[in-house]
Chain A
Amino acid sequence: MNEQAMIAAAQRGDVPSFNQLVRSYQALVYHTAYRVLGEGDAASDATQDAFVNAYKNIRSFRGGSFKAWLLRIVTNACYDQLRAKQRKPTASLDALLVDPDNPAPGLGEAQEEAPHEYAERQELAAWIDKGLQSLPYDQRITLVLSDIDGFAYEEIAIATNTNVGTVKSRLSRARAHMRDFLLQQQELLPESYRLKRRTEEPKSVPMENA
Chain B
Amino acid sequence: MPKRNYTIPDMDAFVEERLSDYLDGQLSSEERALVEAHLQKSERARASLESLRWTVNLIKQTPAPALPRQFTLPATSRAPQPVMSGWFVWGLRGIAVAATLAFVFFLAANLRQNNSIDTALAPAAPPVPAAAQPSQVALAPTPMATFATQQESSGAPAPTAAPFMITLTPQPTVQSLQVIPITVTPEPTQVPAQPTEAPPPPASTQDQNTAPVIAASPTPPQAQVENVQPTAKPPPTREAPPTNPPANAKSAQGNAPAEQNAATNTPTTLSISSAQLAPEATATETPIVVEPFSVAGTEAPTSAPTQPPTNAAINSARTVGPTLFDGFVNATQLNVRQGPGLVYRIIGSLRRNQHVNVVGRSQGNAWLAIQFSSDDNRKTGLGWVGAAYVRLTVPVTSLPVLNANGVQLSVSPTPVPPTLTPTPTDTPTLTPTSSETPSESPTLAFLTETPTAEVTFTETIFDSFTLTPTPTDTITP
* B330: min CB distance to chain A, Å: 12
Which residue of chain A has its CB nearest to the CB of B68? A44
Give the residue of B68, B74, B79, B362 whose beta carbon is less than 8 angstroms from that of A101: B68
- B346 and A103 within 8 A (CB): no
Tell me if B344 and A60 are in contact (CB < 8 A). Answer: no
Look across to chain B and name the residue whose beta carbon is closest to the beta carbon of A49: B71
Asked if B95 CB lies within 8 Å of chain A CBs, one says: no
- Report whether over half of chain B's contact residues are helix, strand or loop; otherwise say mixed: loop
A40 B68 Cβ-Cβ under 8 A: yes
In the complex, A168→B76 CA distance in Å?
42
B63 touches A122 (CB 8 A): yes
Whether A5 is near chain B, meaning CB under 8 Å from some CB there, is no
Count residues on chain B whose CB falls below 8 Å from chain A CBs.
63
With A110-B339, A113-B342 already in contact, the answer to whether A147 and B463 are too (CB < 8 A) is no
Does A112 contact B366, Cβ atoms closer than 8 Å?
Answer: yes
Q: What separation, in Å, do the CA atoms of A57 and B339 have in the docked complex?
A: 43
Residues of B close to A31: CB separation below 8 A = 64-65
List residues of chain A with CB within 8 A of the CB of B461: 104, 107-108, 110
- Check if B67 is an interface residue, CB within 8 A of chain A: yes
Residues 43-86 of chain B, each 1 if its beta carbon lies under 8 Å from chain A, else 0:
00010001111111111111111111111111111111111000
Asked whether, in the complex, the Cβ of B65 is within 8 Å of the Cβ of A116, the reply is: no
Q: How far is the CA of A152 from the CA of B333 in the complex (A)?
A: 41
Beta-carbon contact of B80 and A183 below 8 Å = no
Residues of A47-68 contacting chain B, CB below 8 A = 47-48, 51-52, 55-60
Contacts of A16 in B (CB 8 A): 75
The reply on A188 being an interface residue by CB < 8 A is no
- What does the 1/0 interface line of A61-96 toward B look like (CB < 8 Å)? 000000000000000000000000000000000000
Which residues of chain B have C-beta atoms less than 8 A from A150's C-beta? Answer: 60
Contact call A104/B386, Cβ cutoff below 8 A: no
B20 touches A143 (CB 8 A): no
Q: Which chain B residue lies CB-closest to A102?
A: B342
Asked if B341 is an interface residue, CB under 8 A from chain A, the answer is: yes
Question: A205 and B50: CB pair below 8 A?
Answer: yes
Of the candidates A15, A57, A100, A172, the one whose C-beta lies within 8 Å of that of B81 is A57
Complex Cα gap A208–B404 (Å):
36
Please tell me if the beta carbons of A100 and B69 are within 8 angstroms of each other in the complex.
no
| Identity of the chain B residue whose Cβ is nearest the Cβ of A108 in the assembled complex | B461
Give A48 to B69 CA distance when docked, in angstroms. 10
User: What is the distance, in angstroms, from A146's C-beta to the closest C-beta of chain B?
Assistant: 8
Q: A55 CA to B77 CA in the complex, in Å?
A: 9
Asked if B80 and A56 sit within 8 Å, CB to CB, the answer is yes
A115-B366, A175-B20, A210-B53 known; A55-B60 Cβ under 8 A: no
Which residues from chain A contact B107 at a C-beta distance below 8 Å?
Answer: none
| Chain B proximity of A46: nearest CB distance (Å) | 10
The CA-CA distance from A118 to B63 in the complex, in Å, is 9
B residues with a Cβ closer than 8 A to A are 16-21, 23-24, 26, 46, 50-83, 339-346, 362-364, 366-367, 386, 388-389, 404, 461, 463
Interface pairs A-B: 10 shortest CB-CB: A110-B341, A115-B386, A172-B20, A103-B66, A13-B79, A19-B72, A179-B55, A112-B364, A147-B59, A26-B71
Can you list 17 residue pairs at the A/B interface with Cβ under 8 Å? A13-B79, A19-B73, A27-B67, A44-B69, A52-B73, A52-B77, A57-B80, A101-B66, A108-B343, A108-B463, A109-B343, A115-B342, A175-B56, A179-B51, A179-B54, A179-B55, A207-B54
